[in-house]
Amino acid sequence: MASDLDLRAGRLRRSFNLLAPAYDFLFFQTTEEVWEAALSLLQPQEGEKILDVGSGTGRLLIALSQLVGASGSVQGLDISPAMCRSAERQIARTPHPSEIAVIPGDARRLPFADDSFDGAVSVLTLELLQRGQTEAALGELSRVVRRGGRIVVASIADAVTSDRPLQYYELLRRAFPLAYFGRPIALRRLAHAAGLTPRIAMRRAFLRLPVDVLLIGVPQ
């Protein structure tokens, strides 16, 4: 019988399958500043192998490909097959120097061997996982990134604020519990709970909601 976690993953997959055709139209512009912050922290280098978990419509995969160049490679993974197909279409029509592959998969159980990547990124995805599962996904990121590598994660922040957008967002989340809404999370605390030490943090915005962007070094 499917567990609660798998039921939620199935619901998320279906929501993003439905959202895929409209995703870029709705969210491209508002995500740009988060991608820029993530890239500035990750600092991908020529020849590196980089993973993007929750790669969505593939916009960040293409930007990563420009940075790692022809000698590098980029791997996307997303739970929604429709998002993966959108990414593949986007990749096919945009020039990119490196190899880019996208596969369907779950952030909580990455289908890659230990130490497979120089770096990994996950933008606006960890907050979609159920309580307790974000730490598992962070653990998986650190498992597949080599020692001395870098991880950058960005999620809607569980900020103590009188900020209206975050309050409205909470109201929406409560009013429509079955719809897709990420749960604002304390990313830094969750990283510590997963045994990781964030090195640098930036605050950005997505739909005027606060987003924390963290650089985590994988210990040598």
Ligand X SMILES: C[S@@+](CC[C@H](N)C(=O)[O-])C[C@H]1O[C@@H](n2cnc3c(N)ncnc32)[C@H](O)[C@@H]1O
**Positions that interact with ligand X (CB under 6 A):** 9, 12, 16, 31, 53-56, 60, 78-80, 83, 106-108, 123-125, 128-129
Dist CA 210 CA 18 (whole Å) = 25
For the chain, where are the alpha helices, taking DSSP H only? 4-42, 59-68, 81-93, 133-144, 164-175, 187-193
Closest distance of CB 106 from ligand X, Å: 5
- How many residues are there in the chain? 220
Nearer to ligand X, 67 or 70 (CB): 67
Q: How many other CB atoms are there within 10 angstroms of residue 213's CB atom?
A: 27
Dist CA 118 CA 102 (whole Å) = 17
Nearer to ligand X, 48 or 52 (CB): 52
Q: Which residue is nearest to ligand X (CB)?
A: 56
Query: By the 8 A CB rule, do 29 and 59 touch?
Result: no
Closest distance of CB 79 from ligand X, Å: 4
Nearer to ligand X, 106 or 135 (CB): 106
Closest distance of CB 186 from ligand X, Å: 18
Closest distance of CB 182 from ligand X, Å: 7
